[in-house]
Amino acid sequence: MLYGALEAGGTKMVCAIGDENGKILEQKSIPTATPDETMPLIIEYFKDKDIKAIGVACFGPIDLDRDSDTYGFITSTPKTAWKNYNIVGRIKEDLGIPVGFDTDVNGSLLGEVTYGCAKGLSDVIYLTIGTGIGGGVMTNGKLLHGMLHPELGHIHIGKRNYDKGESVCPYHDDCFEGLASGPSIEKRWGEKAIKLAGKEEVWKLEADYIGTALVNFCMTLSPKKIILGGGVMHQLQLFPLIRKAFEEKNGGYINTALTHDLDNYIVPASLNDDQGIMGAIKLAIDATEC
């Protein structure tokens, strides 16, 4: 059985065909321009591929409420060409197959829970720290949507008084994304994050912010594992620093077997940056079952 998978991102659309085991059989990347330019290329890729369903893991914000008139729409995105765009409707209309739909980060989380390092766990958080910061949440075995969907990148974490940088979030002056995303690192230190690999103070401050956010997520959502992906997390020296910051900010309060073993509690993504597209395959598989 073949399934289609679309990882819809602000800069590129990754299209893939996968099988029921999450194996990617072929894949193609299409630059994200306007819907008028990009959607026909996506439809062209998937048509005549004999896929049973398609899963879409999409940048947001998106409407996931099945009772809403705008279910399946990309809603108030700053990418204006995609604002209020009915991406699910367009795919359904043109391909005539079931469409699974969720956030890009819930897609990555689903990939890790189904095929990766969180296999079998029912309560997991996946965070991406890249151009933006976003997080997917699974609780009691279900992807969390709620009113909209969690926006873990926009919690207020408080700017450190020794931080000379400024938030890059247009909405908040001290949110996680504003202070710890790739662009915020670049703005604060005047160089791309990848070029700052050897600068200790960069990663100490970064880990302080990430550790603070993770303790807040731990207290509110009680995950059994926290997975960190995205471009910035390729700086693997961050992991021990984040675990140390987590320990300090937790202050021994959450005191479980899992928090005693932080090397296995706060972990890197495990699927070679394929977690999103593999999660989209699983969204497609699940879409055939509803």
Could you give the CA distance from residue 190 to residue 192 in angstroms, rounded to a whole number? 7
Q: How many residues bind ligand ADP (CB under 6 A)?
A: 14
Confirm if 105 and 136 have CB atoms less than 8 A apart.
yes
Could you give the CA distance from residue 273 to residue 250 in angstroms, rounded to a whole number? 29
Site string for ligand ADP, 128-157 (x = CB under 6 A): --xx--------------------------
- With respect to ligand ADP, which residue has the nearer C-beta, 11 or 21? 11
Sign of CA dihedral 228, 233, 237, 241: negative
- Name which of residues 102 to 161 contact Zn ion (CB under 5 A): 154
Q: How far is the CB of 263 from ligand ADP (least distance, A)?
A: 21
Among 1, 194, 219, 254, binds ligand ADP (CB under 6 A): 194
Residue nearest to ligand ADP (CB): 182
First-last CA distance in the chain: 17
Which does residue 234 touch among Zn ion, ligand ADP, none (CB within 5 to 8 A, set by kind)? ligand ADP
Among 5, 17, 127, 175, binds Zn ion (CB under 5 A): 175
- What lies within 8 Å, CB to CB, of 267 at 6+ separation is 117, 225, 226, 227, 228, 239
- With respect to ligand ADP, which residue has the nearer C-beta, 14 or 17? 14
- With respect to ligand ADP, which residue has the nearer C-beta, 194 or 254? 194
Could you give the CA distance from residue 100 to residue 51 in angstroms, rounded to a whole number? 13
- With respect to ligand ADP, which residue has the nearer C-beta, 147 or 236? 236
- With respect to Zn ion, which residue has the nearer C-beta, 180 or 277? 180
Q: DSSP 3-state assignment of 215?
A: helix
Residue where the block lists tokens 């999450």 = 22
Sole window of 108-116, 117-125, 156-164, 187-195 interacting with ligand ADP (rule: CB under 6 A): 187-195
Q: Which of 47, 101, 36, 45 is nearest to 74 (CA)?
A: 101
Count of CA atoms in the C-beta half-sphere (13 A) of 12 = 9
Which does residue 169 touch among Zn ion, ligand ADP, none (CB within 5 to 8 A, set by kind)? Zn ion
Q: How many residues bind Zn ion (CB under 5 A)?
A: 6
Which does residue 154 touch among ligand ADP, Zn ion, none (CB within 5 to 8 A, set by kind)? Zn ion
Binding flag, residue 79, ligand ADP (CB under 6 A): no
Residue where the block lists tokens 């296999």 = 119
Among 55, 60, 150, 182, binds ligand ADP (CB under 6 A): 182
Could you give the CA distance from residue 35 to residue 86 in angstroms, rounded to a whole number? 10
- By DSSP bridging, strand 133-139 and strand 142-143 are antiparallel
65: tokens are: 């409420």
Which DSSP helix (H) or strand (E) runs through 259? none
- With respect to Zn ion, which residue has the nearer C-beta, 20 or 174? 174
Angle at 184 between CA 75 and CA 126, to 5 degrees: 60
Residues that bind Zn ion (CB under 5 A): 154, 169, 171-172, 175, 178
Residues that bind ligand ADP (CB under 6 A): 9, 11, 130-131, 182-183, 192-194, 230-232, 234-235
